[in-house]
Amino acid sequence: MKARIHITLKQGVLDPQGKAISHALEALGFSGVDGVRQGKYIEIDLQEDDGEAARASVDAMCAKLLANTVIEDYSIEIES
Amino acid sequence: MKAAVIVFPGSNCDRDVAVALEQSMGHAPDMVWHRDTHLGAYDLIVVPGGFSYGDYLRSGAIAAHSPVMREVAGRAKDGTPVLGICNGFQILIETGLLPGALMRNASLKFICRDVLLRVETSTSPFTGAYDKGDVLRIPIAHHDGNYFADDATLDRLESEDRVALRYCDQQGKLTPEANPNGSARSIAGILNEGRNVLGLMPHPERLADALLGGNDGRAMFDGLVEACAA
């Protein structure tokens, strides 16, 4: 199975990189951008066949290492 | 007194801090490789600055889970003084020995220059040789030094006198201009609950000898030697 993980800064945590990207988009003439949040994308190939077990395992990986839960949120997609 | 400096792949201030420690202790500290799973008896452990594991994933995140850091965390809980400088501070935060997070500098730039710091407490083995209110000139060199914690954590740090150093101006005032990286409440260094773990972004070892252009950092190492002898 494959796990796809998105990690982004929590709402309420200032994201200076997202802000800089937003300003750059504006400077390039892209109007109508309300906000940009920048994050990380991680793919993990798993030996696990069971979707629920895979999700639980990846959730533990995120909490322990992949995300810093003081400032970051994460979301997990599992694909068989 | 026996001191250990932990060395990771990518550490680059390990030798500078060893020189500063030798100057204060009279003999060299042990350099301990990150793969070591057994740490001897030490009176002081230093987690130095640098770019451990190339800052992969997040600054300090991989180093925090290296074998030696489990040992360091155990010693910290037993009361051994642990000093984390710059990347060392990032690593101590990632291990959970200190609260909060160190985010990308608000300017998004890597900043390498001298800054002014106000000593906020002299009640710790690291800051005992300074007086509260002293203004020190110490360099910073980092990309991720923007201290963040939720308001409840910040309030708690303040009420427990655990903010050790703040960025300030020449008069010792806290101003947005004197805060180089956007840190919450101008925080440059914090202590753990037991006051035996200090993490700070500035590099006291880089100005610990007049030949380097200043020695405001030296009293941190002299003070540690004194505290360990007491």
Tally of domains within chain B: 1
The answer to whether the Cβ–Cβ distance between B61 and A20 falls below 8 Å is no
Query: What pLDDT shows up at residue A80?
Result: 80
Contact indicator for A3, A46 with CB cutoff of 8 Å: yes
Residue B164's closest CA among B202, B194, B124? B124
Contact indicator for A76, A63 with CB cutoff of 8 Å: no
Contact indicator for B220, B164 with CB cutoff of 8 Å: no
ipTM of the complex: 0.82
Q: How confident is the model at residue B8 (pLDDT cuts 50, 70, 90)?
A: very high
Query: What pLDDT shows up at residue B230?
Result: 80
The pLDDT tens digits of the residues spanning B157-187 come to: 999 999 999 999 999 999 999 999 999 999 9
CATH number at residue B167: 3.40.50.880
Nearest to A71 among B108, B148, B182 (CB): B148
- Mean of pLDDT values over B133-153: 97
The pLDDT tens digits of the residues spanning B110-123 come to: 999 999 999 999 99
Query: What pLDDT shows up at residue B110?
Result: 97
Residue B124's closest CA among B227, B215, B5? B227
Residue B83 bridge partners (DSSP): B46, B198
CB-based burial of residue B203 (10 Å sphere; 0-12 exposed, 13-18 middle, 19+ buried)? buried
Q: How far apart are CA A80 and CA B107, in angstroms?
A: 42
The pLDDT tens digits of the residues spanning A1-17 come to: 999 999 999 988 888 88
Interface-testing mutation among B57, B144, B147, with chain A (most A C-beta atoms within 10 A): B57
CATH superfamily of A2-79: Phosphoribosylformylglycinamidine synthase subunit PurS (3.30.1280.10)
CA atoms within 13 Å, Cβ hemisphere of A2: 5
What 3-state class would DSSP assign to B95? Answer: helix
Catalytic: B203? yes
**Beta-carbon contacts below 8 Å between A and B:** 30
Nearest to A68 among B58, B99, B105 (CB): B58
What 3-state class would DSSP assign to A49? Answer: coil
Query: What pLDDT shows up at residue B218?
Result: 97
For residue A16, give the chain B residue with the closest CA.
B106
- Asked if A24 is an interface residue toward chain B (Cβ–Cβ < 8 A), one would say no
Q: How confident is the model at residue B48 (pLDDT cuts 50, 70, 90)?
A: very high
Chain-centroid distance of CA B195 in Å reads: 13
The answer to whether the Cβ–Cβ distance between A65 and B101 falls below 8 Å is no
Contact indicator for B123, B113 with CB cutoff of 8 Å: no
Chain-centroid distance of CA B214 in Å reads: 18
| Domain that residue B94 falls in | 3-229
- Mean of pLDDT values over B126-135: 98
Does residue B37 have a pLDDT over 90?
Answer: no
Percentage, residues of chain B above pLDDT 70: 100
What residue type is assigned to position B201 of the chain?
M
For residue A18, give the chain B residue with the closest CA.
B108
Q: Which of B71, B86, B94, B168 is the catalytic position?
A: B86
| pLDDT digit string (tens) for chain A, length 80 residues | 999 999 999 988 888 889 999 999 999 999 999 999 999 999 999 999 999 999 999 999 999 999 999 999 999 999 98
Average pLDDT, chain B: 96
Please report, for chain A, the start and end positions of each structural domain, with discontinuous segments joined by +.
Answer: 2-79
Q: How confident is the model at residue B153 (pLDDT cuts 50, 70, 90)?
A: very high
Contact indicator for B125, B227 with CB cutoff of 8 Å: yes
- Asked if B149 is an interface residue toward chain A (Cβ–Cβ < 8 A), one would say yes
